[in-house]
Amino acid sequence: MGGSSIGEGTLSLGDFVASAKALIEKWKVIDVEDSLPDWQWKPCGKTGVPSEEEGYLALEGVYRNPGGRHAQSSSESVHIYDYHVVYSFSYKVPVLYFQGHQAGGQLLTLDEIKEDLPSHSLKLLGESKWTFITREEHPHFSRPWFTLHPCGTSDCMKLLLEGVENKDQHVQYLPAWLSVVGQARCIMSPGNLETTEDQLPRSN
């Protein structure tokens, strides 16, 4: 569909939707931590997009203790995070939007969010050219959310998908992308979600 090439590290809107729905189904059958909710497809009513392709991928209500440890339920010391994966029409890649809040509902600052991250995630954010955090308007909510800027995503994805058969690339795109983004934001991405018969290459 229309004007993008997975071989170049980008994907079309249709391939994004297909990869999102494949990830949702695989997440249901693999061994995921009990503390993590399921990814869900959230339909949206934006105009100008075919109805079957309106929406975004969401992982909401993730409880986290300081240091990035996942928790089972809310308490005063636990922070709650929502993660949305939205298709970027400008970059033709997925973009992660996220926000965290305290149990009482107060939104977390960027410094508070960084305090929740384990050391390896902070190291990745400091070293990687394509996982730096900015604050931008959420395209579906018109409110500012934190986001991982997508400017280097296509270059990274081109490397990650090398060796994956063309017929599997659109399905494997989001699991491969999440394997890197999930490290930066400490979203647990189970190893068997990231593999097919051939292990996907990973960035250094």
Residues taking part in catalysis: 151
Q: What residues are paired with 84 via a beta bridge?
A: 58, 97
Q: Residue 31 corresponds to which tokens in the numbers above?
A: 């061994």
Whether 124 and 131 have beta carbons less than 8 Å apart is answered as yes
d(CA 6, CA 86): 17
Q: Per the structure block, which two tokens stand in for 50?
A: 């075919």
Total Cβ atoms within 10 A of residue 111: 7
Alpha helices, DSSP H, located in 76-152:
110-115, 119-127
Beta bridge partners of 148: 133
